[in-house]
Amino acid sequence: MSLSYMRRALPVGLLMLAAAGMASPARSEATEYEFQLLQSEVKQGESALLAVRLIHKPTGHTVPAAVIFTHRLDMAPDGMATMKSRLVPLPSTEPGIYPFNADLSMEGNWRLSLAAKLQGEAGTVQARLIFKAVE
Ligand SMILES: [Cu+2]
């Protein structure tokens, strides 16, 4: 994407955010947060370690103590949305980092879906993150 495209697209994006904010203030607050995978490639195996970081986008700070109430792991990116696999949340060892133990039974592209509630924020933070299981 070129810089000139981004300059033109930005005001439209801001208007859309403003419109969404009027319709649903709670939702627009939750959109300031983002889950990010710590790694885009993970070694395939039945006891793989995945980790995501939750950031507050305006400040770049990591956000601890989110309650992840929905989590799912499947191979939707490779056309296997029904191929769901085991995903177990682990205790956080670093503020704002959320680790999981996962059964990556197959090499290829996996999707990690999360939904979380944050302390002091209405709305839900949702994420669909794609990563690759490699040998
Ligand atoms: Cu598969």
pLDDT over 50 (residue 108): yes
Distance 133 CA to ligand 1 centre (A): 10
Q: What is the mean pLDDT of residues 120-135?
A: 95
With beta carbons less than 8 A apart as the criterion, state whether 41 and 134 touch.
yes
**Residue range 65-83: average pLDDT?**
97
CA of 75 from ligand 1 middle (Å) equals: 5
Q: How many angstroms separate the alpha carbon of residue 104 from the centre of ligand 1?
A: 9
Identify the weakest region by mean pLDDT among 45-54, 94-103, 117-126: 117-126
Q: How far apart are CA 45 and CA 124, in angstroms?
A: 31
For residue 7, pLDDT beyond 60: no
Amino acid at 49: L
Give me the residue label for tokens 């990563």. Answer: 131
Q: Which of 116, 120, 124 is nearest to 100 (CA)?
A: 116
Query: What spacing in Å lies between the alpha carbon of 78 and ligand 1's midpoint?
Result: 7
**C-alpha to C-alpha distance for 37 and 98, rounded to whole angstroms:** 10
pLDDT of 102 above 70: yes
Query: To the nearest whole percent, how much of the chain has pLDDT over 90?
Result: 73
